[in-house]
Structure 1
Amino acid sequence: MASTGRDAMTQSGVADREIVLSRVIDAPRELVFEAFTEVRHLSRWWGPEGFSTTTRSLDFRVGGEWDFVMHGPDGTDYPEWITWTEIIAPERIAMLHGESRGDPNAFESVLTFQPDGEATRIEMRTVFPTQELRQEAVEKYHAIEGGQQTLGNLAAYVTELAEQGGEG
């Protein structure tokens, strides 16, 4: 029972620093997972509505990095960097995401991919280093709406791929 209490304390300890988003996508889990693995996929859906993404480099493996720029609809460029800390295909991806390698404000995200009948339930759980950084992401960068839009873009992209037989 002690571990349950500790787990509960750990969970409540991050609640004020966390954003959790989920969506059911009408495509097989393997295809939804694959959309995270290659530039040809990521460049088609990554980011909120109106954004585009330019990849500088991508090495999808544990310890690998994705160095990219998100281009906002107003012309603002946002340098971004991700390193993958865990990959369990096609179930789970964990990553550290910041503006660049060594960013002290980088946040951790865990994506899980669960079968839901013929569809896939994706959950994105993001934990920020501080409550203040989470609040800034929500208020200044519209992280919740942007995250929902990004998952919507992913859903539209992989649903189209699935209808085409998985070719991308």
Structure 2
Amino acid sequence: MSANPKAQVQPKANEIHLVRLYDAPVEMVWDAWTDPAQAAQWWGPRGFTLTTHSKDLSVGGTWRYTMHGPDGTDYPNIATYHEIEQYKKLVYDHGATELTPPLFRVTVLFSTVGKKTQMEMTMALATAEAAAETRKFIKQAGGDSTWDRFAEYLAEQIDHKERFVINRSFAAPIDVMYDMWTQAEHISTWLPPTGFTMSFNRADIRVGGSSFYLMTNGSSENNVTMYGRAAYLEMDRPNRLVYAQQFCDAHENISRHPMAPTWPETMLTTVLFTEEADDRTRVTVTWEPHGAVTAEELEVFMQARGGMTMGWTGSFDKLEAQLETA
């Protein structure tokens, strides 16, 4: 994915608004949205599965489906379509059941941006208070990971590559966000996993440069110490950052993850910064195995997406808190 223009729609207080840009033509994005068999591959937060009972993609038609949570809880849903413009627009009510009314109305706009597709979604609720509560619920349930899973699904269809994608919108200007990712004194405060500290032995953060760092949980009973290094491949301020990471030992010899010996040796991280407003930036992280990868390593990576979501979410929470106190 790549940086996209600021959203043209200014949401109202009772609306939840999001924009994503996908590396796929609009026809493919539309079909993946509207075909139940494809939707079953990505719809819902991480760990959820989907069963479609019936679907009538027409004005007045319904999509009846059940989302199955990882804890076994079922979430029935009846979506009713109000507007359909092929490859351009969907308007539908979301969250109804046989006994309860819809929770909100969804408008999805699809537009071509170069060779990519911009998806702009607005969820309209009855009141601003209802929107605020729904935002909290979506965050707690990991609902935004639906759109990350969609990016992963499209990448697999087009490039036949397995990737991990995660987005977060931060209340900070784009230049500030870029600095948080490219200055060692900032990176070390928020990037390490929850419970760990990070220090740099070397921080030559420039194209062609590299860093060498240490992460530790400082526990006297169950101490975990991890060394790593990163090689910086692309730096396009303030829009894009690409670097390759490897675990290593104290002498900077390549090693493996201390708790996952079959984790891929090299990971490629692509970070995109998208200006959503003058004081708001969306960060999109794409993570993928890089170089020679065995089938076993790729399978370990694919099965670890839930854990990766938790890890990046913890780091993003720390970054958000750091921005609030800056």
* TM-score, length of structure 2 as denominator length: 0.43
In 1, are the aligned partners of 2:40 and 2:50 still within 8 Å (CA)?
A: yes
Identity of aligned residues (%): 36
The residue correspondences of 1:2-13 to structure 2 (distance < 5 A) are none
Which has the larger displacement, 62-71 or 93-102? 93-102
Q: Within 2, Cα distance between the matches of 1:120 and 1:96?
A: 23
What per-residue deviation string (whole Å, max 9, x for no partner) do you get for residues 67-121 of structure 1? 1111112221111110111111101111111232573353111111111111111
Alignment partners' CA distance in 2, 1:73 and 1:138: 21
Asked whether 1:31 is paired with 2:28, we answer yes
1:144, CA displacement in angstroms? 8.8
Q: 1:159 to 1:23 in 2, by over 3 A?
A: same
Check whether the contact 1:48–1:150 (CA below 8 A) recurs between aligned residues: yes
Paired residues, what number?
A: 152
1:22 CA drift (Å): 1.1
Do 1:18 and 1:125's aligned partners in 2 also have CA atoms closer than 8 Å? yes
- Determine which structure has the larger helix proportion and give its number: 1
Instruction: Determine the C-alpha separation between the residues in 2 that align with 1:105 and 1:64.
Output: 14
Q: Distance in 2 between matches of 1:141 and 1:121?
A: 21
Aligned residue for 1:48? Answer: 45
Runs of 4+ in structure 1 deviating by more than 3 angstroms, as ranges, are 101-105
In structure 2, the residue matched to 1:151 is 147
Q: Residues of 2 paired with 1:102 and 1:73: CA distance? A: 24
Match of 1:160 among 156, 162, 172: 156
Q: Which runs of 5+ in 1 are unaligned?
A: 1-10
Deviation at 1:26, TM superposition (A): 0.4
Distance, in Å, in 1 between the alignment partners of 2:130 and 2:140 is 11
Q: Which residue of 2 aligns with 1:65?
A: 62
Change (3 A) 1:108 1:102: farther
Distance in 1, Cα, partners of 2:31 & 2:142? 24
Aligned-partner Cα distance in 2 for 1:133–1:59: 29
Alignment match, 2:16: 19
Aligned amino acid, residue 156 of structure 2: E
Residues 38 and 60, structure 1, Cα contact 8 Å, conserved in 2:
no
Is 1:80 the equivalent of 2:105? no
Kindly tell me: are residues 94 and 143 of structure 1, through their superposed partners in 2, closer, same or farther at Cα, counting changes over 3 Å? farther
Q: 2:93 aligns with which of 91, 96, 111?
A: 96
Matched to 1:30, the amino acid is E
Indicate the SS of the match to 1:36. helix
1:57–1:127 distance in 2 versus 1, CA, 3 Å: same
Which one-letter code corresponds to 1:117 in the other structure?
G
Is the contact between residue 59 and residue 81 of structure 2 (CA under 8 Å) also seen in structure 1? yes
- 1:135 and 1:104 map into 2 onto residues whose CA distance is 19
The higher relative CO (CA closer than 8 Å, separation ≥ 6) is in: 1
Q: Structure 1-normalised TM-score?
A: 0.81
Q: Does 1:142 align with 2:114?
A: no
